[in-house]
Structure formats: structure tokens, C-alpha cells
Structure 1
Amino acid sequence: MRLLPEKDRFSLNETRPHALFSFGTLLDERVQKTIFGQAVPQSPAALAGHATRPVRITDPEVIATSGLDVHLTLERRIGAEVEGAVLHLTDADLAAADDYEVDDYTRRRVRLSSGASAWAYLDARPLRSASRIVIVGDSIAYGRCDPQGGWAARLAVGHIATDETDNRVFNLAVPGSTLAEAAEQTPALLPARRPDTVMVAAGINDMASAGTDSGPVRLEESLEALAATALAYGARLVVVGPTWLDEDRAPVYEGLSFTHERASTLRENLRSWCAAHHIDHLDPWEPLRDRPDLLADGLHPTPEGHDALHRHLTGLAF
């Protein structure tokens, strides 16, 4: 944790472009003075569709600053609302707040009850606090080559079992889908399902298309549209993919070329975009890496491959 130098502290003429929703220790003036150098401007706000639960803190610096070893974190709950305030922060303030928060939290965009968007610190495990999950994507998310429904069906079984009353998983993946198609179709799919989390597992078909010079641009446009859609519905976007593929056995479809180079490029593009935009990215590459025996056709996982993916993703997300 760092204390801002005097030159970086608040002045009346300073631009404060960042809105950060807080409901816990960051509202404490003593904590603000330690982190930011002085109290910062704030205004009342609320966050609908959320409740709080306790998290035990072990970082001694954070405990010393807040005076507490148990903080609160947000979890999703339909009909609930968390009262708090929006802190108006400079770039340096926001960096200091990031430095203060422990690894249990990560900064993500949320939609306030007023309809405005703001930053908030959420559970770093993107599905641990989720209740209603919508999955959109391609044939791997759909579960092709697995009569048990793939990793998504396994995720649904475990998630629903923890809370039969409130937890739901809606797998709306369509084989052959691109990210662009997912971005176009998703807005119409969300209202009836009231998701708090949208998982998008697609993109391999975008990168496999012939003539991919515009691929990265199209990819970013699709991700930006999906992020905007999720935020508009108060949902958290989680990007999944891609999986490792065996280029020698990958299927050949008209106009598509599934290569290791293109899959690797897609992986790096997704990781970079998500990191730059504070969006959760779950990387399913490693469980299948150099395991062609876990791929039915070089691209689609076998049931055993989907088991491996499910275990891996569960370990990252819950």
C-alpha cells in the first residue's frame, strides 16, 4: 500500500474522472487520508441486484489501515440493494485504491441503481458470487462431441446444486457462432433470463475465417458490444477461450482454417483486451495443451476433454 506524494494530492482544480462505488472501508475518512492523502469528494449511491457477505483479510497493511480483519464483498441477489457512495477519484487515487485492495477483490464496471456506471471492487473469482449465468458461444461451449453437454453442462450441474432455488445456468451457445454473431444476438436473449453474469465462449470461428486482416478490429468491436450489453443489464462479462487445438487433425470447413497460429493469436488478443478493459478472462488453453487424445477431431473436446476443461474453469472461477 502506498501513500500518495504531496504533489499528487487533491486540489480544487484537479480533474477527477473516475467514479468508484464503495460501501465499506473506503468510505472511512481515516482510511481515505491514509490511502489518498486526504478525504475525497463523494456522493450517495446504491447498487441494485447485490448484497454483501464477509471476507476475512490477512494482509497486515490493509488490516492496519482499516482496523478490521473482516471486510465485506459483493454477491449477486435479485431484489437486494447495497447502499454506499461514489468516490470521485483522480488517476493517482484510483491506482492507490487498486493498491489498497487485496487479491480477493478485482476492479470491474457495475451499473448503479441510478443507471450510471461506476467502478466497484468485486470478488476476484468471477462466478463465486454469481447466481444466474447466461452462456453464449460456439460449438465447444455448446458441448459438441459430448453427449453429456460439455463443460457448460457440468458447470450448470454444480452451480445449480449449490442453490436449487436461485441459481440458474442458461446455455445459449450455437455451433458455428462467431463473436460478432454473439454480440448481435445476445441483447435479445438477456431480458427474460435476468442474468447477473454473461459468459462468452467464442472467437475461434472469427479467427479461422479466410482473410483475417481485419480480425483483431472485428474482435475488439464484438467484445466492446458484448461488454456494453452486459453492463446495460447489470451483468458481469466473463470471456472464455480459446482452447488448444491439434492443427493436423482439425476439421476443414469451407472458408475456415483452424490453425495453431491463429488460435494462439486469438488467445493473446483476448487476454490483452480483457486486461486493458478490466474484463474477466478465463483461459482454458492449458488443460488440453499437447493432449490430442482429449480432442475428438482436433478441435472439439471429447467427454474426457470437457471434464478437464470443467475442472480447470471451476478452479479459476469459483
Structure 2
Amino acid sequence: MTASRPHALFSFGTLRDERVQTALFGRPVPSSPASLAGYTTRPLPITDQAVIAASGLDVHLTLERKIGAVVEGAVLRLTDQELAAADAYEVDDYARRRVLLSSGESAWAYLDAKPLRSAARIVIVGDSIAYGRCDPRGGWAARLAAAHIAGNEAEHRVFNLAIPGSTLTDVSEQTPALLAPRLPDTVLVAAGINDSALPLPASQAPRDGLAQVADSLGSLAATALSHNARLVVAGPLWVDEERTGDYEGLRFTRARALALRECMQSWCDANHVDYLDMWEPLRGNPDLFVDGLHPTSEGHQALYRHLEALSR
């Protein structure tokens, strides 16, 4: 791969067609056979007339996770401009994400834009909120697990490995040793609020956890990719700071939670990683919190409904 064609894009569908390449890039592009393990395909109806005109098809394929399956395709070698043209060609049902090819090469691929819809085996790593503290039903994660497994009991799994009190740094350090025996195709990270906390008294010099967020997410992205798993990042919840007060020597504020939200979302956007915004479901609803930080059972139910809607 030369410096002028820095992007490897795995294609299993219409982008392999020289007619489509000529329409998009002005000419056929360099390519070579490749395969992607752990995936299968399913049909996706297309309504965008420009895409139909370029491909001649109103049904394309999208990828779905399946242990033991393999999708055969090709790696296209693209310039910056050609990759942008490919992005414009793909409809909103697709999102460009990193995958690990059977050869061991990392490449871009267009996956289902809703990451949990195409998942089979999900590992959740996070903090006390993901763990389900204050909810005897196990929080939003337990509800997600029940629904996901019920959808396909033979193949779907959810492993909740969240640990109360964890920061993103903790999660990034603990996760590599946890993934291999669980064969994940999706790593759902639900942590970060502890990184936003400030020590009391306020005059004490803090270690600003927000400064470490990008490094921690980068480490988690590399860990997930090494298992050919898709990284999905759940953002922080709204904080009822009038009730958090002195929480075990820490102070949680809405301003810091918002700063964390912006930092996580910006990193995900820049690195083509899925971000699930969890702010709105509980915003302005203090009755859905036990202590201003941890949701009640009803709060967790609202969070689950939000995640379910994002997965349809």
C-alpha cells in the first residue's frame, strides 16, 4: 500500500463492482481477495435512488455477527478522496468501522449503523451504574441481557463485567484479560462518570480524570479490535448535583459530566467508534435517581428502553 492509497476497505458487496467503482472513483481501484471471519450477511433493502442507480440493485447486503461464519470479499486500496466518496455512497443504515481481516490486517468495513442490532455476544465493562447498583433487577444491563438472549438463546450472550467504582483507566487496564474466554463480538463500555469526580475539599489538587479519557478509549479500541470486536461507548447520565453532595469524599457536578460527555463523543466521532448518548433519558428527572448519581429501578428501565430504541 503506497502513501497515496493509505486506506484499506473491506468490501463484500457492490463496491467490488468495477461499474460502481468507475461511477464513484472515476476508474477501478486496486484490490485483492480477502475474508472476514466471525460474520455472515443479510439483505438490506435500499431506497436511495442514487445508490440504486449506481449499483443497479435495490437490495444490498449488510454484515451480521456469527461465530464460525466467514464472509468472502475484497480489500480495496483507496485514497482519502476515494474513501470519502465511498462514505457518501453508503446509505445511513451503514457505519464505517474497523475490523480485523482473516489475514490479520486491520481494515475499514461498512457495518450495521446500529451496533447492538447486529451483535451476538456482548461484553459490558463499566462502573456501578452498569453493574446495576441500587436496582434489585440488575439495572439496564440485566434488562438488555434478558432481551438480547431471548432473541436467540442458542447464539446470543451478554456478560456484565462491570465493577463499582471503576474509572475508564481501570476498565482499560482490566479488560484485556477478560475477553478471550467470552468470545465477544461487541464490547460495550459504560464508564467515565468516576473520571469526572473532583475530590473534596475543592482546594485539594485533583488528578483530572478527564485528561485520561482519550488514552483510555484508545486502549479499549485496540483491545476490542484485537478480538475483532466492535467497541461501543455509552456516555454519562445526567447528574442531579443538588443531591450528590459529598459522595465518599468526591463531588460530582453536572458541568463535569457534560464535559465528559463532550470529550467521549468527540473522541468517538473522530475515531469512527459507536457512541450511545445516555444523557437524555433521565435529564431533569431527579425522581429517577436514588442519590443523584445512581438510577432507581424505574430509572434503569428508562435507560433500557432508550437502548432498545437505539437498537431497532
TM-score (norm 1): 0.94
Q: Is the deviation greater in 75-84 or in 206-215?
A: 206-215
Per the TM alignment, residue 262 of structure 1 is displaced from its structure 2 partner at its CA by 0.4
Matched, 1:94 2:86: no
Aligned to 1:56: 45
Stretches (4+) displaced over 4 A: 211-214
- Partner of 1:183, secondary structure, is helix
- Partner of 1:177, secondary structure, is coil
Distance in 2 of aligned mates of 1:251 and 1:160: 38
Alignment map for 1:40-119 (pairs within 5 Å): 40-119=29-108
Per the TM alignment, residue 256 of structure 1 is displaced from its structure 2 partner at its CA by 2.1
Matched, 1:199 2:193: no
Per the TM alignment, residue 214 of structure 1 is displaced from its structure 2 partner at its CA by 4.3
Per the TM alignment, residue 224 of structure 1 is displaced from its structure 2 partner at its CA by 0.3
Per the TM alignment, residue 213 of structure 1 is displaced from its structure 2 partner at its CA by 6.4
Distance in 2 of aligned mates of 1:217 and 1:260: 17
Q: Is the 8 A contact 1:251 1:297 kept in 2?
A: no
Matched, 1:274 2:274: no
Matched, 1:227 2:216: no
Q: Is the 8 A contact 1:282 1:317 kept in 2?
A: no
Distance in 2 of aligned mates of 1:209 and 1:200: 22
Per the TM alignment, residue 254 of structure 1 is displaced from its structure 2 partner at its CA by 4.1
Per the TM alignment, residue 76 of structure 1 is displaced from its structure 2 partner at its CA by 0.3
Residues 160/216 of structure 1: CA separation in 2 closer, same or farther (3 Å cut): same
Specify every segment of 5 or more residues in structure 1 that has no aligned partner in the other structure, as ranges. Answer: 1-11
Per the TM alignment, residue 51 of structure 1 is displaced from its structure 2 partner at its CA by 0.4
Aligned to 1:238: 232
Aligned to 1:25: 14
- Partner of 2:155, secondary structure, is coil
- Partner of 1:245, secondary structure, is coil
Amino acid at match of 1:15: S
Matched, 1:174 2:163: yes
Aligned to 1:161: 150
Residues 302/67 of structure 1: CA separation in 2 closer, same or farther (3 Å cut): same
Q: Is the 8 A contact 1:205 1:256 kept in 2?
A: no
Q: Is the 8 A contact 2:93 2:112 kept in 1?
A: yes
- Partner of 1:15, secondary structure, is coil
- Partner of 1:113, secondary structure, is coil
Q: Is the 8 A contact 2:131 2:164 kept in 1?
A: yes
Per the TM alignment, residue 241 of structure 1 is displaced from its structure 2 partner at its CA by 1.6
Distance in 2 of aligned mates of 1:170 and 1:261: 32
Aligned to 1:8: none
Specify every segment of 5 or more residues in structure 2 that has no aligned partner in the other structure, as ranges. Answer: 200-204
Instruction: Give the superposed CA RMSD.
Output: 1.4
TM-score (norm 2): 0.96
Distance in 1 of aligned mates of 2:37 and 2:194: 36
Residues 196/57 of structure 1: CA separation in 2 closer, same or farther (3 Å cut): same
Distance in 1 of aligned mates of 2:265 and 2:3: 33
- Partner of 1:300, secondary structure, is coil
Amino acid at match of 1:205: N
Distance in 2 of aligned mates of 1:14 and 1:108: 21
Aligned to 2:287: 293
Per the TM alignment, residue 317 of structure 1 is displaced from its structure 2 partner at its CA by 2.8
Matched, 1:139 2:128: yes
Amino acid at match of 2:194: N
Amino acid at match of 2:216: S
Per the TM alignment, residue 37 of structure 1 is displaced from its structure 2 partner at its CA by 0.6
How many residues were matched structurally?
307
Q: Is the 8 A contact 2:34 2:74 kept in 1?
A: yes
Per the TM alignment, residue 218 of structure 1 is displaced from its structure 2 partner at its CA by 0.8
Amino acid at match of 1:98: D
Distance in 2 of aligned mates of 1:203 and 1:107: 25
